Amino acid sequence: MAKPHHQLAVWQRSINLVKGIYQLTGEFPESEKFGLISQMRRAAVSIPSNIAEGAARNSRKEFINFLHIAQGSIAELETQILISQELGFVKVDSVNSLLQEMDEISKMIIGLQRSLKTVTSNKSVVTRKKEVED
């Protein structure tokens, strides 16, 4: 049985981002195994994980909250990529496509949040209007 989040393009793209981060960090020095490698992989995995967990919740409000957490993980991962550049572990051109993909995923999450908020707002208006009529 297909899970609802499997149908979300933003979830699918974030899974591909995880693969890219694992490939990138596979090139890091062994000394970073418990440092940046671990942190970057956890931040990357957190993005699709929070999208999936939010989609599995029973309310739009909770889903939106998990999408906020996914956005935070994107910001965390971007920071770690920039630190990796500063430390000389990666070259700018080797991470540009990952950073662009993260930007796109971030925009998709924002769009999903807006659509969920709109549905929630419209539902609230209909509910309030019905209460007034009763």
Fold assignment, 7-126: de novo design (two linked rop proteins) (1.20.1440)
The per-residue pLDDT of the chain, averaged, comes to 89
**Percent residues over pLDDT 70 in the chain:** 87
- pTM, rounded to two decimals: 0.86
d(CA 72, CA 46): 9
* Per-residue confidence (pLDDT) for residue 125, from 0 to 100: 41
Q: What would the mean pLDDT of 75-83 be, rounded to a whole number?
A: 97
- Are the beta carbons of 86 and 55 closer than 8 angstroms? no
CA 48 to chain centroid: 6
| pLDDT range class, residue 105, cuts 50, 70, 90 | very high
Environment class of 88 (CB within 10 Å of its CB; exposed 0-12, middle 13-18, buried 19+): exposed
| pLDDT range class, residue 93, cuts 50, 70, 90 | confident
* Per-residue confidence (pLDDT) for residue 92, from 0 to 100: 86
- Cβ-based neighbour number of residue 103 at 10 Å: 12
Residue 126 confidence (pLDDT) above 50: no
Residue 44 confidence (pLDDT) above 70: yes
| CB-based contacts of 71-75 (< 8 A; 24+ apart in sequence) | 71/106, 71/109, 71/110, 73/43, 73/44, 73/46, 73/47, 74/47, 74/102, 74/105, 74/106, 74/109
Spell out a b/e string for 9-30, using b for 16 or more CB atoms within 10 Å of the CB, else e: ebbebbbebbeebeebbeebee
* Range in 17-26, 80-89, 94-103, 124-133 with the lowest mean pLDDT: 124-133
Residue 100 confidence (pLDDT) above 70: yes
